[in-house]
């Protein structure tokens, strides 16, 4: 039934030349369709003149594809999605795609990108992709959008929401939607780690262990405090490892407990703060290497990184080595688990390459 499809959000506009005595339909059918369009805010064209106006408006309108993760965060997904739709649909032609546990959001996004890029060149109107979920969902969607020129909107709905926090995107749905509708975009770097996109950061050693300990159940119970507890547990068990680091032909060998390579990171991502802040659009990756000899020195190094983030200036702590590079390769002994944008991987060696100005994101204007 057409009315049901309108109410489900599948329809951007209805063109129906409804004749009072049309034998193909009943008065009840027409009334249901009219009522459905009124409830859903979908334009209805009952004659050729209004159909032409509707089609012209659609061709010049903005279309958004929202990938919504219903299991992210602690809020009610139905309530959150209804709010987002009420905020975006008056100004955007919104198409909602729900992520599914058995399908990688990156794969869903790549299929969508392929469809959008197959459109005829010069087709009027503009299109965007919006990711709504935690950092895992946002990173997966963003990784599939890198290099396409399609702008990305972000509606954070996770535990840490590091990507949104780093760019100053409001953490509430209303503020995030307002940022998207305002239309201001920033051109950011992205990166590749071996053959995988990286949007936020990657960690070897301490960070990988901390993320692995912060299970979904723990995050559901404690929220952001899950990472604090997991970090305290990891600090006790973390063992040093040998690392061989190659940058632009120069090789450095160190004993480390943590290596973090960051592209985008907020101040709360403490292990990325060797320079005081991570610059997301400088064409370089920030590398922070921690090599404390004891747990006490490890705590001191973490405190030094946190202080650097507060004052936004590089740390001078003797157990921290801070570098910037476009390309870096790391080999560890023994091999270390790697975390990339919250996902755990096994890889050794690992190579990182910055992809300058490859991701366009809706974000607030920078403060003057």
Provide DSSP, 278-327.
--TTSS-EEEEEE--SSHHHHHHHHHHHHHHHHHTS----TTEEEEEESE
User: Are residues 17 and 145 located together in one domain of the fold?
Assistant: no
pLDDT at 321 over 80: yes
Rounded Cα gap, residues 23 and 71, in angstroms? 46
| Cβ–Cβ under 8 Å, residues 315 and 276 | yes
Q: Model confidence at 169, in pLDDT bands (50, 70, 90)?
A: very high
| Cβ–Cβ under 8 Å, residues 199 and 165 | no
User: Are residues 114 and 88 located together in one domain of the fold?
Assistant: yes
| Cβ–Cβ under 8 Å, residues 205 and 271 | no
Query: Among 130, 159, 183, where does a domain finish?
Result: 183
User: Are residues 175 and 211 located together in one domain of the fold?
Assistant: no
User: Are residues 213 and 333 located together in one domain of the fold?
Assistant: yes
pLDDT reported for residue 164: 96
Closest by Cα among 106, 101, 99, 93 to 140: 106
CATH code of 306's domain: 2.60.200.40
Closest by Cα among 366, 365, 368 to 178: 365
Burial state string for 208-246 with b = 16 or more CB within 10 A and e = fewer than 16: bbbbebbeeebbeeeeeebbeebbeebbeebebbebebb
User: Are residues 317 and 169 located together in one domain of the fold?
Assistant: no
pLDDT at 83 over 90: yes
User: Are residues 214 and 162 located together in one domain of the fold?
Assistant: no
The per-residue pLDDT for range 9-29, each reduced to its tens digit, is: 667 678 877 665 555 555 557
Quote the tokens at residue 78: 């139905």
Of all residues in the chain, the percent with pLDDT exceeding 70 is 81
| Cβ–Cβ under 8 Å, residues 321 and 254 | yes
Non-local CB neighbours of 18 within 8 Å, separated by 6+ positions: 25, 30, 33, 46
Q: Do the domain assignments include residue 247?
A: yes
pLDDT at 310 over 80: no
User: Are residues 21 and 165 located together in one domain of the fold?
Assistant: no
Q: Model confidence at 224, in pLDDT bands (50, 70, 90)?
A: low
* Coil vs helix vs strand at 115: helix
Q: How many other β-carbons are positioned within 10 Å of the β-carbon of residue 205?
A: 26
User: Are residues 255 and 339 located together in one domain of the fold?
Assistant: yes
Q: Work out whether the CA dihedral 194, 195, 199, 205 comes out positive or negative.
A: negative
pLDDT at 1 over 80: no
pLDDT reported for residue 121: 61
Q: Do the domain assignments include residue 229?
A: yes
User: Are residues 109 and 17 located together in one domain of the fold?
Assistant: no
Please provide the distance, in angstroms rounded to a whole number, between the alpha carbons at the two ends of the chain.
Answer: 53
Query: Among 183, 210, 226, where does a domain finish?
Result: 183
Rounded Cα gap, residues 48 and 16, in angstroms? 9
User: Are residues 51 and 64 located together in one domain of the fold?
Assistant: no
* Coil vs helix vs strand at 219: helix
Q: Do the domain assignments include residue 51?
A: yes
Rounded Cα gap, residues 209 and 233, in angstroms? 9
Mean pLDDT of the chain: 83
Q: Do the domain assignments include residue 192?
A: no
Q: 168 vs 101, which has greater pLDDT?
A: 168
Q: What is the mean pLDDT of residues 182-191?
A: 95
User: Are residues 124 and 99 located together in one domain of the fold?
Assistant: yes
pLDDT at 367 over 50: no
Q: Do the domain assignments include residue 365?
A: no
pLDDT reported for residue 220: 63
| Cβ–Cβ under 8 Å, residues 88 and 68 | no
Q: 333 vs 10, which has greater pLDDT?
A: 333
Q: Do the domain assignments include residue 10?
A: yes
The per-residue pLDDT for range 258-307, each reduced to its tens digit, is: 889 999 999 888 888 889 999 999 999 999 998 877 777 777 777 777 77
Domain that holds residue 273: 198-356
Count of structural domains, the chain = 3
Closest by Cα among 277, 330, 334 to 305: 277
Local structure of residue 91 (DSSP, 8 states): T
Strand ranges of the sheet holding 258-262, from the earlier edge strand across to the other edge: 320-325, 285-290, 258-262, 201-205, 337-340, 343-346
Global pTM reads 0.77
Using CB atoms within 10 Å of the CB of residue 9, give its burial: 0 to 12 exposed, 13 to 18 middle, 19+ buried: middle
pLDDT reported for residue 124: 47
Q: What is the mean pLDDT of residues 185-202?
A: 94
User: Are residues 28 and 113 located together in one domain of the fold?
Assistant: no
């Amino acid at each position: 039934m057409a009315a049901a499809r309108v109410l489900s959000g599948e329809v951007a506009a209805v063109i129906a030349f409804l004749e009072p005595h049309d034998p193909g339909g009943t008065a009840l059918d027409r009334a249901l369709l009219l009522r459905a369009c009124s409830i859903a805010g979908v334009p209805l064209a009952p004659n050729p003149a209004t159909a032409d106006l509707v089609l012209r408006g659609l061709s010049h309108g903005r279309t958004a594809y929202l990938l919504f993760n219903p299991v992210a965060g602690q809020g009610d997904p139905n309530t959150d999605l209804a709010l987002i739709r009420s905020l975006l649909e008056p100004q955007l032609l919104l198409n909602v795609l729900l992520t599914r546990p058995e399908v990688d959001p990156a794969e869903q996004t790549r299929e969508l990108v392929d469809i959008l890029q197959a459109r005829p060149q010069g087709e009027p109107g503009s299109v965007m992709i919006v990711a709504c979920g935690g950092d895992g969902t946002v990173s997966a969607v963003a990784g599939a959008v890198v290099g396409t020129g399609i702008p990305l909107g972000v509606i954070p709905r996770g535990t840490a929401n590091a990507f949104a926090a780093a760019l100053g995107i409001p953490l509430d749905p209303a503020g995030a939607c307002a940022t998207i509708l305002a239309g201001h975009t920033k051109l950011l770097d992205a990166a590749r780690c071996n053959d995988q996109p990286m949007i936020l950061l990657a960690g070897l050693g301490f960070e990988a262990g901390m993320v692995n300990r912060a299970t979904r159940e723990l995050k559901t119970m404690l929220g952001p405090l899950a990472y604090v507890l997991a970090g305290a547990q990891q600090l006790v068990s973390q063992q040093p490892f040998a690392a061989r680091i190659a940058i632009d032909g120069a090789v450095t060998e160190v004993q480390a407990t943590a290596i973090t390579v960051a592209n985008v990171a907020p101040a709360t991502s403490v292990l990325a703060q060797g320079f005081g802040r991570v610059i997301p659009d400088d064409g370089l990756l920030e590398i922070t290497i921690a090599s404390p000899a004891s747990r006490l020195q490890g705590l001191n190094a973490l405190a030094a990184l946190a202080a650097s983030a507060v004052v936004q200036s590089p740390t001078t702590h003797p157990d921290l080595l801070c570098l910037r590079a476009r390309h870096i390769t790391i080999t560890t002994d023994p091999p270390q688990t790697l975390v990339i944008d919250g996902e755990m991987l096994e890889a050794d060696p690992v190579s990182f390459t910055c992809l300058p100005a490859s991701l366009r994101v809706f974000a607030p204007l920078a403060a003057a």
